[in-house]
Amino acid sequence: MKFAIIGSRGQLGQDLIRTSPSKVELTTFTHADFDITDREDVFDFLAGEEKFDIVINTAAFHKTDLCEDEPQKAFVVNAVGVKNLVEACEKAGSVLVHISTDYVFDGGKLSKKEPYYEDDIPNPINIYGISKLAGENVVKNYLEKYYIVRSSSLYGVAGASGKGGNFPYTILRKAKAGEKLKVVDDIYMVPTHTYDLAQGIWRLVLEEHPYGIYHITHTGYCSWYEFAKKILELANIEAFIEPVSHKEFRTKARRPLWSVLGTKKGIDLGPWVEGLKKFIECINVEDL
């Protein structure tokens, strides 16, 4: 089976490569190879002479605050770019696996502390989420053979280039530099290790689950403060860390206070702490 991975230098892209089963024939595309917003390039690479059974798109404009300042770019990458991929996949007969986000939800389930499932109705409250939902709608309304995989709060060994790393790296670097940490304790999510997510995506596709929307994250949930505490504990680093309310941090984009995903479709990645343990074992904290 021939697979293409788009965004292959990213943290999820790297872990999709690292975890790819031997029976899979893999072609990887970085941002330098082509930009998903360039329709002609997308068709050349995905629907030209070489065609793929499955295309996995991890590329996105996902700097949440910057999306508020650059809504046009957010829609061009996260929706128009996705339309290009959809049309190329349609032409080539490929299945599209498109990665989306917990930020398509508004956080209203905080009062019940109940996860968002695949059949919950999205209502994004920032431009990033709105543009990602637009991308999802393009996929599901223009293509028959698709998987939309929503996940949350990703971290992987490669780090997200667009965000200059990821949350665990930031916490570890600041703690090692002796900075006092203030971390939000009233926003909840499921931290998800891209290594495990990548394995979940391979399962989804290779076990031929029915097409549609899937939530794939670890299980359980925590606040960003609880996540930071666990990162420091597992890395054995002492730091001064203070829980604060999101009201203390003014950010351009509003964020859902609760974006915990759950699944009714059977693929979960096990407890979030286990994913974090694996991550800490894989990195060299000394070198950060």
Positions in the binding site for ligand NAP (CB under 6 A): 7, 9-13, 31, 35-37, 58-62, 77, 81, 99, 101-102, 151-154, 160-162
Between 154 and 187, whose beta carbon lies closer to ligand NAP?
154
Q: Which residue is nearest to ligand NAP (CB)?
A: 10
Rounded (5°) CA angle 270-276-282:
120
Between 109 and 159, whose beta carbon lies closer to ligand NAP?
159
Between 151 and 263, whose beta carbon lies closer to ligand NAP?
151
* Min CB(166)–ligand NAP separation in Å: 7
* Min CB(5)–ligand NAP separation in Å: 10
Check: CB of residue 228 under 8 Å from CB of residue 241: yes
Burial string for 15-43 (b: 16+ CB within 10 Å, else e) reads bbeebbeeebebbbbeeeebebbebebbb
How far apart are the C-alpha atoms of 277 and 231, rounded to whole Å? 8
Check: CB of residue 53 under 8 Å from CB of residue 3: yes
* Min CB(287)–ligand NAP separation in Å: 20
Between 180 and 190, whose beta carbon lies closer to ligand NAP?
190
* Min CB(113)–ligand NAP separation in Å: 20
Between 67 and 235, whose beta carbon lies closer to ligand NAP?
67
> Based on the number of CB atoms within 10 Å of its own CB, is 180 exposed (0-12), middle (13-18) or buried (19 or more)?
exposed
* Min CB(7)–ligand NAP separation in Å: 3
Name the nearest CA neighbour of 50 among 77, 28, 22: 28
